[in-house]
Structures are given as C-alpha cells and as structure tokens.
Amino acid sequence: MTKAGQPFKRDLIVCGLLLLALLAWDVLGWDLALTRHFGSTEGFAWREHGFTSGLLHQGGRMFGWAVFVALVFNVWKPLPGLAAMPRRLRLWWLLSTIFCLILIPVLKRLSLSSCPWDLQEFGGIAQYVNHWRWGVADGGPGRCFPSGHASAAFAFIGGYFALREQHARLARGFLIAVCSLGVVFGLAQMARGAHYPSHTMWTAWICWSSTMPLFHASRRWWNGRG
C-alpha cells in the first residue's frame, strides 16, 4: 500500500466497521425497544411538539438549506478560513452534498418500510417489518427508510474529505459537528415517531460510504491530470 493509498484504506476500514455496527444493531432489534419509550397506542406525544417538530425538524431543515446556500457561494468566493482550498475541492464539496441530498430521497421512495407512527401498536395501520426484508410490505404507506431529515446534516459529510488535507483540525471539528447535528435530528425524529434510530444511522453510513469513494476517485483523477 503506497502512502497515497493509506487514507483510502483507513476510510474503507471505517466504512466496514460502521457497517458491522449497523448490522449488529439490526440483529439485536433495538429499534422498536427504544421507540416504545416515546410512543403508545395513542401515538407519540412529541410528534407535534414545538421543540421537536418546530425547532429541530422545520428549523433543522431551514438550517440545512442555509448551509447549502453557503456552499454554493463558497465555490465562487471562499468562506472565511478557506481561502487556501482549491476551487475544484470547493466545487466537489458542493456536488457531493447534492449527490447525497438526491440519493437519500430516492432510496426513501423505493422503501416499503413505514414510519413508527404508522404501526398498529402506535395507533396506525402497519405491522412492523424489518427494512432488511426487501419486497415485503408492512401494510402501511412505506417510504420511510432511510431518514431524510438526518440528511440535512449528514449530506454535508463530504466537507470532511474536502477539508482534511489542508485543514486537518477544521476537518475533524466539521465531522464532529455534522455527526452531532445528525444525531440530534435523529433523536428528534425518533421522539416524534417519524423514524427508528437505525434510519438515522443508515443515512449517516450511506452518505459516508458513497461520498468517500467519490472523493478518492476524484483525487486520483486530479493527480493524474497534474
């Protein structure tokens, strides 16, 4: 393994370890166990609460779009502290974000898994069916897996790759901020009955595992062009 290939190897290992952790979560069946702490046959008390539905859901969505607009402007005029970042990296950051923002909704539209608030035990009509049972409908509306709201944070994860070579400390801080915000959004959606915890985790993994190889492929292409 060459020195240039070491970052890809490390990123690939992280991707594999996260996948194993996600598979373990699914096998242990912790989704319903945690969701039941917030829901009952009468539904989810936090579903329309101002904090979860207003601030963290609607407000989080608006915050995500504000960051997206900042990335658009960043392509033409670097944000403060990013003057040393080449324009190609700034453009790649924006395009990788757009890719994730498209990918997650597309996967949701293909999903037969319904949201927790659609389950019979929480006042809905659906039966719980694990999202791994592809092609098996649960009797509900489906289109709930993975978490779209969590992508308002995790879709920007490409910034970690774009930043880390020239701004290593900032890249780590950015990754922590993205993951922390994604977890907060995921917890809010779990409390509302909109998603299981694994839906948020899978959104994070999908954004990482799709952005990471795109970055390394782009990097090889840039280096090949000199």
DSSP 109-157: HH--PPPGGGBGGGTSSBPP--TTSTT---SS-----S-TTTHHHHGGG
Mean pLDDT of the region 85-95: 95
Residue 4 is predicted with a pLDDT of: 54
139 & 155 share domain: no
Query: Which candidate, 85, 57, 72, places its Cα nearest to that of 186?
Result: 57
pLDDT at 3 over 60: no
161 & 211 share domain: yes
135 & 213 share domain: no
178 & 131 share domain: no
User: Which ranges of the chain does DSSP label H, i.e. alpha helix?
Assistant: 6-28, 30-35, 59-76, 87-110, 151-154, 158-163, 168-192, 197-225
DSSP letter, residue 44: E
pTM for the full predicted model: 0.94
205 & 134 share domain: no
Query: Which candidate, 215, 201, 41, places its Cα nearest to that of 131?
Result: 201
Model confidence over 60-73: pLDDT tens digits?
Answer: 999 999 999 999 99
207 & 118 share domain: no
Say which range, 8-12, 81-85, 86-90, 173-177, has the weakest mean pLDDT.
81-85
Q: Domain containing 138: what range?
A: 112-143
Taking residue 77's Cβ as centre, other Cβ atoms within 10 Å add up to 9
d(CA 193, CA 42) in angstroms, rounded, equals 12
Q: Does residue 62 lie in a domain region?
A: no
How long, in residues, is the chain?
226
Query: Which candidate, 60, 213, 83, places its Cα nearest to that of 148?
Result: 60
> Could you say which of 95, 121, 143 is where a domain stops?
143
d(CA 70, CA 75) in angstroms, rounded, equals 9
- Total number of domains in the chain: 2
128 & 189 share domain: no
96 & 156 share domain: yes
Q: Does residue 57 lie in a domain region?
A: no
74 & 154 share domain: yes
